Amino acid sequence: ETGVTQTPRHLVMGMTNKKSLKCEQHLGHNAMYWYKQSAKKPLELMFVYNFKEQTENNSVPSRFSPECPNSSHLFLHLHTLQPEDSALYLCASSQEASGSLNEQFFGPGTRLTVL
């Protein structure tokens, strides 16, 4: 399906490791998002970038560090994570970060396991 790709699809890391998740969108969108999806919890918005500027940081711990070098690419840098950070991390994009242009297109996600 997609418009929005994420790599890797699966990642296992120790608590002392540093790793990065990558998202790329081929839809010409200007807004990109990171979500966390944990078992039995609602989808949690983490970060929003609109025209490469971060417009939302939803009280995310500093061990998660986003980077948006251009409108097509979004990274999530991970360091010293905790086991409770294990989840599916979803990337999404939309035409812009507002109102009716809010239809978001999602990538397949990265399944992260922290040991």
71 makes contact with other proteins (CB under 8 A): no
Coil, strand, or helix at residue 35?
A: strand
List the one residue from 17, 56, 60, 80 that touches other proteins (CB under 8 A).
56
A 10 A CB-CB count for 51 gives 11
Number of shown-chain residues binding other proteins (CB under 8 A): 30
Angle at 48 between CA 63 and CA 67, to 5 degrees: 50
Q: Whole-number minimum distance, CB 69 to other proteins, in Å?
A: 21
Dihedrals phi, psi of 77, to nearest 5 degrees:
-90, 135
Kindly state the smallest distance separating residue 105's Cβ from other proteins, in Å.
7
Interface residue with other proteins among 43, 61, 113, 115 (CB under 8 A) is: 43
Q: Which of 31, 68, 87, 114 binds other proteins (CB under 8 A)?
A: 31
Question: How far, in whole angstroms, is CA 40 from its chain's centroid?
Answer: 19
Residue 65 to residue 105: CA distance in whole angstroms:
22
Residues found near other proteins in the complex (CB under 8 A): 1-2, 4, 6, 31, 41-43, 45, 48, 50, 55-56, 90, 92, 94, 96-109
